[in-house]
Amino acid sequence: MLEVFLTEEHRKFRQEVQDLVKSIPRQLILDMDADKIEFPYEFVREAGRRNLLGIRFPKQYGGRDLKWVDELIEVGEVMKLGVPFTCLVSVTSIVGEGLNAFGTEAQKEKYLKPLIAGTQWAGEALTEPRGGSDFFGATTLSAFIVERDMGVEVKHVYGLMGSRGTGTGRLRRKGILQIDGAGKATLRWSGWLQSYSGTGRPVCQQTEGLWPDHTEF
């Protein structure tokens, strides 16, 4: 961002982010790129400790009530570490936006607060075939909060060039058994869901019927 547009408060905030960036060990970046580290938990914890996650969200949930321009400043500085770290900061904003705008008070307490604190992490999983890296190109929208023990298995699959170490992978749903009024059971299955959606590969649309144990695309 051009210096002429920054206020003194912006510059102070930018220095906070720069201090975080300088604190990240070079070896961590190298190990992530070499696929020795699947997810940099210490980076997320440190960003949360410095109150640099979910900065636009209300202070009552641990945020800072800052603006989009502040988030742009943060993203621009964190990008110096590489795409993976920028994604980790941004995904808190993306997931947190849904929780902050549409979540219940109980959901904000349970999920939004620890996301901002860096003690819990989240990912986005897209089911539209055109989803992939075009998150905002979705033509339908239905959001769910899914925890690890809710019939979902997390797979670390992709070694994305320039973006390794962010936990980019696929989610395997075990299916949801639905029973109608007549007692007929139907297994609804969504196959593989792509987390962080870096490749743009198609994934399965929801469909009825009993499917095999897994489906590849």
More confident: 36 or 187 = 36
pLDDT tens digit sequence for 129-178: 665 566 666 676 667 777 766 667 766 666 666 677 776 777 666 655 45
Query: Model's pTM, two decimal places?
Result: 0.73
Residue partners of 204: CB distance under 8 A and separation at least 6: 127, 189, 190, 191, 192, 215, 217
pLDDT tens track for 194-216: 343 333 333 333 333 333 333 33
User: Domain map of the chain by residue range?
Assistant: 3-122, 123-217
Fold of 3-122: Butyryl-Coa Dehydrogenase, subunit A; domain 1 (1.10.540)
User: Would you say 170 and 159 are in contact if contact means Cβ atoms under 8 Å apart?
Assistant: no
